[in-house]
Amino acid sequence: MTSAAPFTEARERLCETLHEMAAAKLSPGSTGNASVRVDGGMLISPTGAACASIKPADLVFIDQRGHTETGALRPSSEWHMHSAIYQARPEAGAIVHCHSRYATTLACLGKTIPAYHYMIAVAGGDSIELADYATFGTDQLASAVIKALNKRKACLMANHGQIAFGSSPEQALALAIQVEDLAAGYCQCLTLGEPRLLSTDEMNEVLAKFSNYGLQPQQPMQRR
Is 78 a residue of the active site? yes
So what's the pLDDT on residue 4? 46
Closest CA to 106 of 25, 203, 194, 179: 179
pLDDT (tens digit per residue) in 149-169: 999 999 999 999 999 999 999
**What's the whole-number mean pLDDT along residues 67-94?**
95
pLDDT bracket for residue 2 (50, 70, 90): very low
User: pTM (2 decimals)?
Assistant: 0.92
Q: What is the mean pLDDT of the chain?
A: 92
Q: How far apart are CA 136 and CA 204, in angstroms?
A: 34
Q: Which of 108-112, 144-148, 213-217 has the lowest mean pLDDT?
A: 213-217
- Which residue in the list 20, 78, 129, 180 is annotated as catalytic? 78
- Which domains can be identified in the chain, with CATH numbers? 8-211 (3.40.225.10)
pLDDT (tens digit per residue) in 99-125: 999 999 999 999 999 999 999 999 999
In the predicted structure, residue 223 carries a pLDDT above the cut 60: no
Closest CA to 9 of 45, 38, 41: 38
Q: How far is CA 101 from CA 18, 21, 26, 28, 161, in A?
A: 17, 13, 7, 9, 8
In the predicted structure, residue 191 carries a pLDDT above the cut 90: yes
CB 128 within 8 A of CB 56: no
